Structure 1
Amino acid sequence: MQGSSMHHFANRRQLLKALGAAGLLSQFGALPAFAATHSRFAANPSAAWDSKQRLYVDGLCFLPDDLNDATASNIDAYICDISDIEAIKQADGTTNYKRSYKACIKSISEAKQRVEANPDKLLLGLTGKDVNLAKHTERTAVFFQIQGADCVEQSIDTDLSQVDEFYDKGLRVLQLTHHYGNAFSGGALDNDASGGLNQPLTSAGIALIDKLNSENILVDISHSSVQTALDTAHVSQSPIVQSHGAARAIVNHARCSPDNVIKAIADTGGLFGVFMMSFWLTNDKVPTTEHYIAQLKHVANVGGIDAVAIANDYPLRGQKTLLELNNNNAEGVKQYLDWWYSLRAKQVLGYDVEPEHVVIPELNHIERMNRIDMALGKAGFTSLERDKIMGKNWDRVLNEVLI
């Protein structure tokens, strides 16, 4: 789709999203009045939809050690990161850890074998239809994702046949990069405090996106630089997602996305998943479920209700170290400080603020999806809106892209 046809496609997407956002604002008004407008849920909890009927889809998690966790989580489907890293010695003697082709082709093969060996619990998600198939057969669909296109080690002059190899093994979502830039895209943490080093999508990245579109693989711009995210939204002929992230308008950090990125994703027909890493959800000293709901409201206000989704980025049961510490954030945050300070020294945006927590204790739990669902009801979201946020938006995007 090129030229005028691509322009028509973009206009159609923008019109649909604008109508969605207009509908949201016309119903709810400004966000400060949002909860008050829908306070009937607080007065009448029975108005909430039975969570066992609602579709639950998570934007990023992992295969658990104990597959019973998939059932216990009450999640019907999730984007499942199966990538692995390889330690590569550099010329200067240092070691770089990359999601290389060698490491990821091995990890996806092992993940596929494990999923297929447990058909009573898991379903390998290959098309969007598998979301509802899993729900109706009381299993969990897992859609394989790799967090970084470093696994594609071919140059732009090749046919990118490694993408085909990964697709044949079940890959259905590919993230362009992880934190730092690569041959395809700029990374979020390449940015310094002044906003410099905001690298665009490269020519190789454009070729890769064209390949992913043609293969019906979902493009994920999580961890990308702002310019790469905007470029990808412009170039992709299919909806794109940020599977896991947060809003920079709330926490001014390089790993959080500004409103123009949220809007650009929504205009492709895609979605933005808000994750569980609390130091990127709020700068308040004590993180709560209300902070998480505030992030969801912000995405809805910017991109429309059809752009909002849930993500994790921790194991199904929650962040392991914090669980072992009984969710003691003061102790748990210490494991991140060396990394945090190293990026502060490089003046990366947001690392000047001292992190004080890692998780929202109430949501660092195997039943977090149920808890978010109930919190949405208390915050004034209607049953239909909760349907979309908790799973229907993911269901729609997966059905549109994974065909």
Structure 2
Amino acid sequence: MLEPAKRYTGYTAYDYLESGKDFKEFKYAKQLGRVPEYQGLELSDSQRSRVVKLLTDEIVISLHDHVQVFPEDMGRLREHIRQGREPTGYQGLSRSGMTAVFDNGMDGTCCISSDAGWKYQDVLFDLGVRMADLAHQDFVIKAETVADIRHAHETGRLAHVFALEAATPIENEVDRLDVLYGFGVRQIGIAYSEANYLGSGLKERGDGGLTYFGEKAVERMNKLGFAIDISHSGDRTALDVINYSKKPVFITHCGSREVWPTNRMKPDALIKACADRGGVLGLEAAPHTTLSNEHPNHSIESVMDHFTHLVDIIGIDHIAFGPDTLFGDHVGLHDAFAGNLSISQAHGHVEHPRVEYVDGLENPAECFYNIIGWLVSHGYSDDEIRKVVGGNIIRVLEEVWV
């Protein structure tokens, strides 16, 4: 893990308000040191220096994360969410080495007014409150263009890209995409695990593919300049989006079903179709997702089994990382919101050991130090590392964003 970014001044979320008066006070999980530091990297001094140099000098992007801090007591999670004031983990982000992060907020668990989540007004409230907080500090900046990401890199800041895991909140109103874009959202999924007006999610028994409204929505997304995500879409819907979109699409947080056979992973044929159209897959690391037969105890080694497999399948030009981490007890979040997140249907009933956290990829502060450390220790060149930690994403964004 790196030293704190020089630009970071110690700001904590909602410092401009009075805790206990303007919003309810909660005790939050540690952003640093919540779990033991990963011990699996054996780096020489020169390799360690190379890791730090790559993190410092190159554009490093997480294609999918949740950079909020969660309550220490996860039994108070729904109470915390209902007040609609998610705190960004500035301290942890200052140690991450990331240039940019695609932050997917709470969307599916944005249960301010309804336990079902995904309500349009709730999502807008969440976005607006988070943006108000960002506006009161100078380290993490709201990013809407590739130029913003490059500016963040040049000035020692972190570019924060607002994203949503599904377009469910737009219901059957395509113009709501314009509103979300106007708020600053720059990446959006088609469907989460449940089907919506656009198409099928990966939990459904049947997949009818992209609907006529879904085609209209994808066309609008292309015109607006949204990056499109198909991570949680059903296989047929995902393939339809790849073929219908005029621009490359992302699978922002996923792995290979040939490595770990659950619905949450995508089949290699679909991943290859995405890559053939210029798209990129970001490797997932949320607990109990990207496992492998060789490493069924979820760790960075499990995730990198998917990485090495996919390098063989689609090549290094189409791979990135979307770790899908957060600050706090991620397994506790899954337990609390198993129904909202469709955990059992998405992950199936493949037997695997339950872990308390993913060793080496537990939170946004540590992910890219360990990812780059793993790549360095396994003989990847600087050029190859540049591609997978940011370059491949930038290439797609230059084509997709306006």
TM-score, normalised relative to structure 1: 0.75
User: Alpha-carbon deviations, 1:206-248, whole Å to 9, x = none?
Assistant: 1000000000111111100010111000000011001111110
Q: 1:333–1:116: structure 2 CA closer, same or farther, 3 Å change rule?
A: closer
Structure 2: distance between partners of 1:287 and 1:106: 35
Q: 1:88–1:77: structure 2 CA closer, same or farther, 3 Å change rule?
A: closer
The question of whether the paired residues in 2 share the 8 Å contact of 1:293 and 1:376 is answered with no
Match for 1:123: what amino acid?
I
Asked whether 1:100 is paired with 2:119, we answer yes
Following superposition, the deviation at residue 67 of structure 1 comes to: 1.6
Equivalent of 1:224 in 228, 233, 246: 233
Q: 1:47–1:219: structure 2 CA closer, same or farther, 3 Å change rule?
A: same
The question of whether the paired residues in 2 share the 8 Å contact of 1:70 and 1:121 is answered with no
Residue equivalent to 2:383: 384
Asked whether 1:130 is paired with 2:148, we answer yes
Structure 1: distance between partners of 2:112 and 2:194: 16
The question of whether the paired residues in 1 share the 8 Å contact of 2:279 and 2:396 is answered with yes
What secondary structure does 2:297 align onto?
coil
Q: 1:336–1:382: structure 2 CA closer, same or farther, 3 Å change rule?
A: farther
The question of whether the paired residues in 2 share the 8 Å contact of 1:187 and 1:199 is answered with no
What pairs up with 1:314-325 in 2 under 5 angstroms?
314-315=325-326, 317=327, 320-321=328-329
Structure 1: distance between partners of 2:178 and 2:186: 11
Asked whether 1:153 is paired with 2:141, we answer no
What secondary structure does 2:98 align onto?
coil
Which protein is richer in helix relative to its size?
A: 1
The question of whether the paired residues in 1 share the 8 Å contact of 2:255 and 2:266 is answered with yes
User: Alpha-carbon deviations, 1:370-396, whole Å to 9, x = none?
Assistant: 111010122222111111111111122
Residue equivalent to 2:177: 163
Match for 2:139: what amino acid?
K
Residue equivalent to 1:211: 220
What secondary structure does 2:94 align onto?
helix
Asked whether 1:253 is paired with 2:262, we answer yes
Equivalent of 2:300 in 277, 282, 289: 289
Give unmatched runs, 5+ long, in structure 1.
1-40, 90-94, 192-196, 323-328
What secondary structure does 2:203 align onto?
helix
Q: 1:199–1:48: structure 2 CA closer, same or farther, 3 Å change rule?
A: farther
User: Alpha-carbon deviations, 1:260-317, whole Å to 9, x = none?
Assistant: 11111112211101111242222544333322222112222222211111112121x4
Q: 1:82–1:290: structure 2 CA closer, same or farther, 3 Å change rule?
A: closer
Match for 2:121: what amino acid?
K
Equivalent of 1:313 in 314, 321, 324: 324
What pairs up with 1:2-401 in 2 under 5 angstroms?
45=47, 48=50, 50-51=53-54, 52-64=56-68, 65=87, 66-84=89-107, 85=109, 97-118=116-137, 120-155=138-173, 160-191=174-205, 197-283=206-292, 284-315=295-326, 317=327, 320-321=328-329, 335=335, 350-357=348-355, 359-365=357-363, 366-401=365-400
- Structure 1, 144-153 or 362-371: larger mean CA deviation: 362-371
What secondary structure does 1:302 align onto?
helix
The question of whether the paired residues in 1 share the 8 Å contact of 2:325 and 2:361 is answered with no
Give unmatched runs, 5+ long, in structure 2.
1-42, 69-86
Structure 1: distance between partners of 2:338 and 2:125: 30
Q: 1:218–1:176: structure 2 CA closer, same or farther, 3 Å change rule?
A: same
Structure 2: distance between partners of 1:81 and 1:337: 16
User: Alpha-carbon deviations, 1:317-355, whole Å to 9, x = none?
Assistant: 4xx226xxxxxx9xx799389769x875x7x77324245
Q: 1:216–1:285: structure 2 CA closer, same or farther, 3 Å change rule?
A: closer
User: Alpha-carbon deviations, 1:20-51, whole Å to 9, x = none?
Assistant: xxxxxxxxxxxxxxxxxxxxx99984894622
TM-align CA RMSD: 3.0
What secondary structure does 1:231 align onto?
helix
Q: 1:337–1:154: structure 2 CA closer, same or farther, 3 Å change rule?
A: closer
Query: How many residue pairs are counted as aligned between the two chains?
Result: 335
Bigger Cα Rg: 1
